[in-house]
Amino acid sequence: MRFLFLALDVDLSRPAGDATHVRELALGLVELGHSVSLVVERGGVPASEETGLRIHTSARPGTWRMALTASRIAREERAQVIYERRPTPKVGFVASRLRHLPLFVEINGFPDEERRILGTAAPHRFSAFRKATRGFLLRRATGIVAVSPAIQAALIGAHGISEDKVVVIPNGVNTRLFRPMDQEEARRRLGVPAQRFVLGFAGHLTPWQGLDLMLRAVAALRHDGVDVMAIVVGDGPDRARLRSLAESLRITEHVAFTGGVPYEDVPGYIATFDVAFAVRPALLPGSPLKVREYMACARPVIASAGTAYDFGIVEEAGAGVLVDPSRVDAIEQGVLALMRDLDAARRMGSAGRAFVERNCTWIATAERVAEVCAC
């Protein structure tokens, strides 16, 4: 199959989840034998370096001009399907009508809600007209891929989309890159003390990641005499606030903020963790990549119970513990339980790795996307 994959607000050069998802899904489709013409905001590699994947940049020229550009690329590349990763797929809709091609839309989250939480949304940005436009476009798509059941339910409820049109295909993980590594060697290479118990996080630093909970749990554990430190891998808009919080909790010397690191280096940092942190407050629905990446690295995971995230896979796999994200003491007790039974923690890590190898590879995700788009 020949895909025109539109990811028009994604910068492939940025170490963020959206770039990871787009890159890995596109390469998964290529590995399966499909041809992919990928259109992104910026970033990427020359087409000659990845056979079957051609990358174009959009440079945000405006909806109509971008739609004409997408239509031209679809014609030149003889696309058979248009796949747009955006909740309001205006460009894909116009291009699909111009080229008489099926349009499939992927929904990973709700950017308007994320901007609201970050305080960067314009007043009244998500107007009734904008919501009506989104519903109009989504109802006319050939099919919709939602990355979690909660996003599927939100789309159906908000826009009157028929249930059979929205298929749930969770995110995947690159199990060749994210793999178990020797912890002692990883700590020596990165300068992490060999004997410290490490609670770690890797990802984009935003308010919905729950890192304030992680820092408060570390402070509580240290207050109770537990020798634990935190490693925070990544960068983002919440970094300054988190540093200030660590200072106010008087745990600065026990928290390492690495800043952003190259995607291919992230598994080495995860290897230094004793427990991987994914306790998110109930702010947004989704299918976070990091949980699958932690599991692929055979790290036991502490994650949220009772939220709209698909963290149930941690429990299903026996790969860690789920705790109430509203209670710091619950996080503290979850970490202590893993700390006190290191054999059980290692078994959880191994179980997580086995689970993602069976169920969560990007190839498996790409296979399901291709199946949906072939219907």
SS3 letters across 232-258:
EEECCCCHHHHHHHHHHCCCHHHEEEE
Q: Which pLDDT belongs to residue 48?
A: 38
pLDDT higher than threshold 80 for residue 58 = no
Q: Which of 177-191, 304-318, 345-359 has the lowest mean pLDDT?
A: 304-318
246 shares a domain with 115: no
What is the band of 82 on the pLDDT scale with cuts at 50, 70, 90? very high
Q: Determine, yes or no, domain membership for 296.
A: yes
Quote the pTM value. 0.86
340 shares a domain with 214: yes
Tokens of 308: 């709209």
> Between residues 217 and 157, which one has the greater pLDDT?
217
Q: Determine, yes or no, domain membership for 349.
A: yes
Instruction: Please state, in angstroms and as integers, the Cα–Cα distance from residue 238 to each residue in 84, 93, 138, 250, 367, following that order.
Output: 29, 35, 32, 18, 35
Which residue from 26, 49, 50 is spatially nearest to 38, judged by alpha carbons?
A: 26
318 shares a domain with 276: yes
- Start-to-end C-alpha separation, the chain: 12
Instruction: Please state, in angstroms and as integers, the Cα–Cα distance from residue 338 to each residue in 110, 299, 331, 344, 361, following that order.
Output: 34, 11, 11, 7, 26
pLDDT higher than threshold 50 for residue 197 = yes
Tokens of 27: 């390469």
367 shares a domain with 349: no
Per the structure, the complete domain to which residue 313 belongs is given by 183-359
Q: Determine, yes or no, domain membership for 178.
A: no
Instruction: Please state, in angstroms and as integers, the Cα–Cα distance from residue 209 to each residue in 215, 235, 281, following that order.
Output: 12, 12, 7
219 shares a domain with 349: yes
189 shares a domain with 164: no
Which residue from 363, 375, 357 is spatially nearest to 30, judged by alpha carbons?
A: 363
Distance CA 299, CA 141 (A): 39
Q: Determine, yes or no, domain membership for 177.
A: no
Instruction: Please state, in angstroms and as integers, the Cα–Cα distance from residue 204 to each residue in 72, 210, 226, 253, 370, following that order.
Output: 35, 11, 27, 22, 29
Total Cβ atoms within 10 A of residue 82: 29
Distance CA 333, CA 220 (A): 10
Please state the rounded mean pLDDT for residues 52-73: 82
Q: Which pLDDT belongs to residue 128?
A: 76
158 shares a domain with 38: yes
Q: Determine, yes or no, domain membership for 329.
A: yes
Q: Determine, yes or no, domain membership for 277.
A: yes
32 shares a domain with 81: yes
Distance CA 310, CA 287 (A): 5
148 shares a domain with 290: no
Q: How many domains does the chain have?
A: 2
Please state the rounded mean pLDDT for residues 229-233: 96
351 shares a domain with 217: yes
Q: Determine, yes or no, domain membership for 11.
A: yes
User: What is the longest distance spanned by two Cα atoms in the chain?
Assistant: 66
Tens-digit pLDDT profile for residues 256-268: 999 999 999 999 9
344 shares a domain with 204: yes
252 shares a domain with 207: yes
Total Cβ atoms within 10 A of residue 121: 15
Angle at 26 between CA 293 and CA 272, to 5 degrees: 20
Tens-digit pLDDT profile for residues 114-148: 555 555 555 555 577 778 888 889 999 999 999 88
Distance CA 316, CA 297 (A): 17
Instruction: Please state, in angstroms and as integers, the Cα–Cα distance from residue 306 to each residue in 61, 213, 303, 325, following that order.
Output: 42, 16, 10, 8
Domain of 27: which CATH number?
3.40.50.2000
Tokens of 191: 């300068």
pLDDT higher than threshold 90 for residue 252 = yes
Tokens of 306: 């009772």
Q: Determine, yes or no, domain membership for 284.
A: yes
